[in-house]
Structure 1
Amino acid sequence: MRKAAARALNALTAGLDIRDDAVPGRHGTIPVRRYRAGPSPAGRLIWLHGGGFSSGGLDQLESHAVGAALAWRGIDVIAVDYRRVPPWNPFRDPRPGSLTGIRFPVPLDDVVDAFASEQDTALLGGASAGACLAAAAALRMHTEGRPMPAGLVLVYGCFHAQLRPIPDELRQRIRGRHGIFQFRPSTVRRMHHNYAGSEEALADPLAFPGGHDLPPLPPTFMVNADRDALRASGDAFGRELTTAGTPVDHHLVPEAMHGFLDRPHTRQFTAGITLIANWAETHSRGIE
Structure 2
Amino acid sequence: MRGAGIGASADVVDDHVVGPHGPVPIRRYRPQDPAAAPTLVWLHGGGFFRGDLDLPESDAVARVLSARGIPVVCVDYRLGPLPGMPWIGRTGPRARRRAPHARDEVVAVLRSLAEECPASLVLGGASAGACLAASAVAAGPPLAGTVLAYGFFHARLPRDPAVQRLVRGHRRITHAPLLLDAANRTYAGPLGAGAFPPPEDLSTFPRTLVLDAERDTMRASGDRFARQLGAAGVDLERHVLRDSRHAFLNRPGSIDFAAAVDLIASWVVRRPV
Q: Deviations over 1:103-138 (max 9, x none)?
A: 111000000000111113420000000000101000
Please, which moves more after superposition, 36-45 or 223-232?
36-45
1:186 to 1:270, Cα distance in 2 relative to 1, 3 A: same
1:114 matched to which residue of 2? 109
Is the partner of 1:214 in helix, strand or coil?
Answer: helix
Residue identity opposite 1:217 in structure 2: F
**What TM-score results when the alignment is normalised by the length of structure 1?**
0.82
Shift of 1:13: 4.3
Which of 246, 266, 271 matches 1:278?
Answer: 266
Aligned to 1:118, the other structure's residue is in SS state helix
Q: Is it true that 1:55 corresponds to 2:50 in the alignment?
A: yes
1:103 aligns with 2:131: no
Q: Is the 8 A contact 2:34 2:71 kept in 1?
A: no
Cα displacement (A) at 1:153: 0.2
Moved more, 37-46 or 124-133: 37-46
2:42 and 2:125 in contact (8 A); partners too: yes
Show the counterpart of 1:140: 139
Which residue is equivalent to 2:28?
Answer: 34
TM-score (norm 2): 0.86
Q: Which has the higher contact order (CA 8 A, sep 6+)?
A: 1
Residue identity matched to 1:32: I
Q: For this pair of structures, how many residues does the alignment match?
A: 256
Contact 1:216 1:241 in 2 (8 A): no
For structure 1, list consecutive stretches of 5 or more residues without a partner in the other structure: 1-11, 142-146
Alpha-carbon displacement from aligned partner over 1:149-168 (angstroms, at most 9, x marks no partner): 11000000000001111152
Alignment of 1:220-235 (within 5 A): 220-235=208-223
- Does residue 240 (structure 1) correspond to residue 223 (structure 2)? The answer is no
Distance in 1 of aligned mates of 2:72 and 2:21: 23
Structure-2 change in CA distance of 1:75 and 1:101 (3 Å): closer
The 1:271/1:79 distance shift into structure 2, 3 A limit, reads: same
Contact 2:212 2:239 in 1 (8 A): yes
Measured on the aligned residues, the alpha-carbon RMSD in Å equals 2.4
Deviation at 1:182, TM superposition (A): 5.4
Provide the residue aligned with 1:88 in structure 2. 83
Q: Which runs of 5+ in 2 are unaligned?
A: none
Whole-Å Cα distance in 1 between the matches of residues 131 and 202 of structure 2? Answer: 14
Q: In the alignment, which residue of structure 1 is the partner of 2:147?
A: 153
Q: 2:166 maps to what in 1?
A: 173
Q: Compute the displacement of 1:197 (Å).
A: 1.8
Q: Does the 8 Å contact 1:225/1:256 carry over to 2?
A: yes
- C-alpha distance in 1, partners of 2:71/2:80? 28
Percentage of pairs with the same residue: 42
Matched, 1:127 2:126: yes
Structure whose residues are more often strand by fraction: 2
| Letter aligned with residue 24 of structure 1 | V
Match of 1:9 in 2: none
Contact 2:75 2:106 in 1 (8 A): yes
Give the Cα separation in 2 of the matches to 1:213 and 1:24. Answer: 27
Aligned 1:68-79 pairs, distance under 5 A = 68-79=63-74
